[in-house]
Chains A and B, each alone.
Chain A
C-alpha cells in the first residue's frame, strides 16, 4: 500500500505537466498536431482499456474492434448529418454505456471459455456484428454506410483527452482498490481465487464491461472525425489487434507501458502510412517481431534495464574512486 502511495506521488507532477501541455495544445499546436495527437490518444485509450481486462486476468480479448465499432455506430445513429439528435458529450456517454452493456452480456456468456477459445470467440464477435449490420443495411434500410455530423477538431481533441483522463483515473483507482486485488488474484490463480470467496465471474464481467465503456466512447468521438462510416470501417479487425500489439510493444508490467507503446506505435503508423503507404504494415510487422523476440518486457522493460545498468555502472565507478 505504501508503494502505491509513493508511485502515485512520483507520477503526480509529470502527470499534471503532461496534462497541462496537452490541454493547451490547440492554443499553440498546428491543426496537424492536434489531429495527430487525437489519433494517438485514441490508440492509447484502446490499448490501456484492453490492458485493464486482459493484463491482470490473462484472458486474451480480441473484441476491442467490436466495442469500438459499436461506439462508432451509436454516434452515427444519434448524430446523422441530417440533424444531431443529442449533444456530443451525451452521445459519447451513451456509446460507452452501450459498449459496456454489450461486454457484460458477452462476458457473462463467454468468460467460462479459456485461452484460445476465448480469443477466437471474441474475435468472432467483431465479425458477427459486422455481418448483422451489413445485412440490416442491405435488407432493411437499403443504405450503405452513414454520414455523421462534422465536429470541429478542437472539440474532438478535448473530448478524446477527457476520455483519456477518465480512463487513467479509473485504472488508478482499480489498481488501488480491493476490487483490483481480486482481479489480479484471478490472473494469478483463478481456482484459488474462487475458493477464497471471490466471485470470479462477476469480477471478470464487470472489468470487461469497464474496459469496453472507454473503447465505445473513443469510437463515438472518432466517428465524428471520419464523417462517413460503414460496417467495414467501424468493425475493422485491425482495431482488435492493434491494442494487443501496442500493449506488448510498450510492456504490460507498468501502467505507462501500454501508454508509451501506443504513442510510439500510433506515431509511427501515422507517419509511415503517408511516407510508405505500401510498406508500412510490413515495417510494422518487423518492428513487432523484433520487439517480441528481444524485448520480453517491452520498451518500458528495456528502459528500466538500461537505467538499472547505468545506476550500477555509476555506483561501481564511485566505489573505484573511493
Chain B
C-alpha cells in the first residue's frame, strides 16, 4: 500500500524549477531513499511534502488523503514527521523539553503531561540521549543534536518519518550508529523516507531509491538497479 504519493509536484523559485513535475510514492513499511547532486531539489521536495512550501501545481496524498494546502502542524498531527538538513532544535531548552514538545503537541489524540513526559523519556533512551536529558540542547554535539531532532519527530507518533541528510557531517562510527537507528525505527513499524549523500548508508539500508536531477526524477528502483543505471552513474555516481 502506498502511504505517500505525489502527482506532478512542481515548485518554481523565480524562473528556476527546483522541483519539476515529479511523480513519486512511498510504500507502507519501507525505507525509501532520495538521492541526487547538490541543488537537485531534494530538500525542496521534503519541504513541499511537509508543507513548509506549497506545490504549484501538483498534489500530494498521505494515507490516501490529499494534504496539499494543509498547514505544517496539521500534517504533523496526521502522522507525517520530519527532520531538517540544517538542524533546527530549540537551542535554549533542555534536550528533554525539545522532545516533550513533540509528545505534547504532535499527535491528534491529546495526551496527559505525565504520559507525555514518560514517552519523551523513553524516546531519549531509544536514541541514546538519556544521560544529557537536562542539558540545554545548544550544548550538544552535532550528532546528538540530530538525535534530538529524530526523537522529537518520533515523539509526534509518526507513521512516516522523513530524514533530511541525517548522516551528513558525521564520522564513520556515527554513521554506522545512525544506520542502525534508522533500521530500529523501521522495526517499530514506521515508514522512512530519507535523503542521503552517504552512498554506503543509502545503498545498504534502503529498499527502494529515487534519484532527482535538476528538479526532475531521472530514475527509481532497488539499490542494485540504481547502482548500475547508466543515467544515474552519468549525472551522479560517476563524479
Please tell me if B71 contacts chain A, counting CB pairs below 8 Å.
yes
Interface centre among A182, A194, A199, A201 (most CB of B within 10 A): A194
- Segment 132-186 of A: residues with Cβ below 8 Å from B: 178, 181-182, 184-185
Contacts of B100 in A (CB 8 A): 181
The answer to whether A188 touches B90, judged by C-beta atoms less than 8 angstroms apart, is yes
Please tell me if B216 contacts chain A, counting CB pairs below 8 Å.
no
The answer to whether A197 touches B90, judged by C-beta atoms less than 8 angstroms apart, is no
The interface-forming segment of B23-31, B104-112, B186-194, B224-232 is B104-112
- Segment 80-111 of B: residues with Cβ below 8 Å from A: 81-82, 84, 88-93, 97, 100-102, 104-107
**A297 vs B73: C-alpha distance when bound (angstroms):** 34
Please tell me if B77 contacts chain A, counting CB pairs below 8 Å.
yes
A-contact bits for B52-90, CB 8 A (1 contact / 0 none): 100000000000000000011100110001101000111
**A184 vs B81: C-alpha distance when bound (angstroms):** 21
- Segment 36-55 of B: residues with Cβ below 8 Å from A: 50, 52
**A203 vs B93: C-alpha distance when bound (angstroms):** 18
Contacts of B93 in A (CB 8 A): 181, 184-185, 188
Query: What class of interface size applies to chain B in its complex with A?
Result: 20 to 34
Interface centre among A185, A200, A201 (most CB of B within 10 A): A185
Please tell me if A198 contacts chain B, counting CB pairs below 8 Å.
yes
Given A192-B84, A196-B152, A197-B107, do A178 and B113 touch, yes or no (CB 8 Å)? yes
The answer to whether B90 touches A184, judged by C-beta atoms less than 8 angstroms apart, is yes
Given A185-B93, A199-B73, A200-B73, do A192 and B104 touch, yes or no (CB 8 Å)? no
Q: Between A and B, how many residue pairs show CB distances below 8 Å?
A: 72
Contacts of A194 in B (CB 8 A): 71-73, 76
The answer to whether B156 touches A196, judged by C-beta atoms less than 8 angstroms apart, is yes
Q: Which A residue sits closest to B116, measured CB to CB?
A: A178
Contacts of A182 in B (CB 8 A): 101, 104-105
- Segment 191-248 of A: residues with Cβ below 8 Å from B: 191-201
Q: Which A residue sits closest to B75, measured CB to CB?
A: A195
A-contact bits for B141-159, CB 8 A (1 contact / 0 none): 0000000000011001000
The answer to whether B73 touches A192, judged by C-beta atoms less than 8 angstroms apart, is no
The answer to whether A198 touches B52, judged by C-beta atoms less than 8 angstroms apart, is no
Contacts of B104 in A (CB 8 A): 178, 181-182
The answer to whether B81 touches A181, judged by C-beta atoms less than 8 angstroms apart, is no
Given A181-B100, A182-B105, do A197 and B89 touch, yes or no (CB 8 Å)? no
Contact partner of A199 (CB less than 8 A), chosen from B50, B71, B152, is B71
Please tell me if A319 contacts chain B, counting CB pairs below 8 Å.
no
Please tell me if A20 contacts chain B, counting CB pairs below 8 Å.
no
B41 shortest CB reach to chain A, Å: 19
- Segment 92-121 of A: residues with Cβ below 8 Å from B: none
Interface centre among A182, A185, A195, A198 (most CB of B within 10 A): A195
B1 shortest CB reach to chain A, Å: 24
Please tell me if A30 contacts chain B, counting CB pairs below 8 Å.
no
Contact partner of A191 (CB less than 8 A), chosen from B52, B92, B106, B156, is B52
B133 shortest CB reach to chain A, Å: 12
Q: Which A residue sits closest to B105, measured CB to CB?
A: A197
Contacts of B97 in A (CB 8 A): 181
Contacts of B73 in A (CB 8 A): 194-200
Contacts of B156 in A (CB 8 A): 196-197
B52 shortest CB reach to chain A, Å: 7
Interface centre among B76, B88, B91, B113 (most CB of A within 10 A): B88
Please tell me if A189 contacts chain B, counting CB pairs below 8 Å.
yes
**A198 vs B71: C-alpha distance when bound (angstroms):** 10
B176 shortest CB reach to chain A, Å: 27
Q: Which A residue sits closest to B81, measured CB to CB?
A: A195
B113 shortest CB reach to chain A, Å: 6
Contacts of B82 in A (CB 8 A): 195
**A182 vs B89: C-alpha distance when bound (angstroms):** 13
The answer to whether A195 touches B105, judged by C-beta atoms less than 8 angstroms apart, is no
Contacts of A189 in B (CB 8 A): 88-91
Contacts of A195 in B (CB 8 A): 50, 52, 72-73, 76, 81-82
**A194 vs B84: C-alpha distance when bound (angstroms):** 13
- Segment 101-148 of B: residues with Cβ below 8 Å from A: 101-102, 104-107, 113
Given A181-B97, A185-B93, do A198 and B105 touch, yes or no (CB 8 Å)? yes
Interface pairs (29), CB distance under 8 Å: A178-B105, A178-B113, A181-B100, A182-B101, A184-B90, A185-B90, A188-B89, A188-B90, A188-B91, A189-B88, A189-B89, A189-B90, A192-B88, A192-B90, A192-B152, A194-B76, A195-B82, A196-B73, A196-B76, A196-B105, A196-B152, A196-B153, A197-B73, A197-B76, A197-B106, A197-B107, A197-B156, A198-B105, A199-B73
Knowing that A188-B91, A195-B50, A196-B156 are A-B contacts, what are 10 other residue pairs whose CB atoms are under 8 Å apart, sorted by A's residue number?
A: A189-B88, A191-B52, A192-B89, A192-B152, A194-B72, A195-B82, A197-B107, A198-B73, A199-B73, A201-B71
